[in-house]
């Protein structure tokens, strides 16, 4: 008998090819229903991130030479008016930076020389984020084939997605072979407790497959050739992966 050493790299590549060719058709699902699938298309940004310039601190957005006259307040979720020379607005972290801004002074670096006015020294590095600073519109963040996790769902939502094009994982049938296996209770009387059958469905789910009802696990299958062949044929009729 000649023993041929397996070429694992080739085997993995072939398994990947067959799996990709037989994978489920892409489907558009809501973000809430996408967990556990894989991206069918790349995840690209639908807008600049951030979509608009935002303040990184609580402070005062100002234009012109200090002291500035405080003319209002900008909170997160509001759209400010353009700043005029010599004016400032109190601004909250995460709020939209007004047009015309030339300086942003942190609240802890500011002081009020007279009622309704503020002055202070901005930090050397601007305390606001420009639109597109994290990612530009149309930029690919994740390639197709990426597993959809809670983090991916959150990222997709931050990019403006309400749903995703995904592929569901393969349906998997778990078969347990062996007359010596007991599938419940304590081992004894010549039988050992099957430990792989109960754990395999959990492993399959973690790797993106979905165990098929009735095959999770099914067995033990009688240790005869006919029983093995029949069990595998039944499983292949119900699942993509055995």
When pLDDT is cut at 50, 70 and 90, the band that residue 6 belongs to is: low
What mean pLDDT, rounded, does the chain reach?
89
When pLDDT is cut at 50, 70 and 90, the band that residue 127 belongs to is: very high
**For the CA atoms of the chain, what is the radius of gyration?**
30
The average pLDDT across 10-39 equals: 84
**54-129: CATH topology:** Molybdopterin biosynthesis moeA protein; domain 3 (2.170.190)
What confidence tens digit (pLDDT) does each residue in 128-148 have? Answer: 999 999 999 999 999 998 999
- The residues spanned by each domain of the chain are 25-46+142-167, 54-129, 171-238
- Range 25-46+142-167: architecture per CATH: Alpha-Beta Complex (3.90)
When pLDDT is cut at 50, 70 and 90, the band that residue 45 belongs to is: very high
Q: Closest by alpha carbon to 109, among 117, 124, 120?
A: 120
Q: Measured between alpha carbons, how far is 60 from 40 in angstroms, rounded to an integer?
A: 45
> What is the structure's pLDDT at 142?
97
What confidence tens digit (pLDDT) does each residue in 182-220 have? Answer: 777 788 887 888 888 888 888 888 887 888 876 655 568
CA angle 128/130/135 to nearest 5° reads: 125
The pTM score is 0.69
Answer yes or no: is pLDDT of 1 > 60.
no
Q: The tokens 């519109």 sit on which residue?
A: 137
CATH 3.40.980.10 given to domain 171-238: yes
């Amino acid at each position: 008998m000649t023993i041929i050493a397996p070429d694992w790299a080739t085997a993995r590549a072939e398994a990947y090819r067959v799996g990709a060719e037989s994978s489920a058709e892409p489907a558009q699902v809501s973000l809430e229903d996408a967990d556990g699938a894989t991206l069918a298309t790349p995840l690209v940004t639908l807008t600049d991130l951030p979509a608009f310039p935002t303040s990184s601190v609580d402070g005062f957005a100002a234009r012109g030479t200090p002291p500035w006259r405080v003319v209002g307040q900008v909170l997160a979720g509001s759209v400010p008016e353009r700043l005029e020379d010599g004016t400032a607005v109190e601004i909250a972290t995460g709020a939209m930076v007004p047009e015309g801004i030339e300086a942003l002074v942190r609240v802890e670096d500011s002081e009020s020389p007279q009622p309704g006015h503020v002055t202070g020294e901005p930090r050397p590095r601007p305390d606001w984020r420009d639109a597109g600073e994290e990612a530009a519109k149309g930029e690919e963040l994740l390639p197709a084939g990426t597993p959809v996790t809670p983090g991916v769902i959150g990222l997709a939502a931050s990019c403006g997605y309400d749903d995703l094009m995904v592929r569901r994982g393969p349906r998997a049938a778990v078969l347990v072979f062996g007359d010596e296996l007991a599938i419940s209770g304590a081992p004894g009387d010549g039988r050992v407790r099957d430990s792989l059958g109960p754990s395999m469905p959990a492993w399959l789910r973690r790797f993106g497959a979905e165990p098929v009802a009735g095959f999770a696990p099914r067995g033990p299958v009688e240790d005869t050739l006919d029983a093995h062949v029949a069990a595998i044929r039944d499983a292949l009729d119900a699942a993509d992966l055995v």
